[in-house]
Amino acid sequence: MKKPLQELRVKRNLTQDQTAKILGIRKEYLSMLENGERNPSDSLKEKMAKLYECEIADIFLAINSTKRLKQKQT
């Protein structure tokens, strides 16, 4: 099952390398963000929202909702 950030990237037909370059971060850091291991800064959230053409809340509230749902299931 793809994670929300990964889904957004794939919908834009971008690789992790391409996305990392656009956002000005390392590919490894992008991977950590997509896996929920790190939280981006507010400025990075803004860049991501612009890149993925959506609102910051649309991205990060979806991630938080998914985490809460997983916690309830375990």
Once rounded to an integer, what is the mean pLDDT over residues 45-50? 96
Q: Provide the domain count of the chain.
A: 1
The pLDDT confidence band at residue 73, using thresholds 50, 70 and 90, is: very low
CATH number at residue 56: 1.10.260.40
- The whole-number pLDDT of residue 57 equals 87
d(CA 25, CA 58): 21
- In the three-class reduction of DSSP (H, G, I as helix; E, B as strand; rest coil), residue 73 is classed as helix
With 50 as the cut, is the pLDDT of residue 3 above it?
yes
Range of the domain at 19: 4-73
The pLDDT confidence band at residue 65, using thresholds 50, 70 and 90, is: very low
Which residues, 6+ apart, have CB-to-CB distance to 37 below 8 Å? Answer: none
Q: What is the pLDDT of residues 32-42, one digit of tens each?
A: 999 989 999 99
With 90 as the cut, is the pLDDT of residue 53 above it?
yes
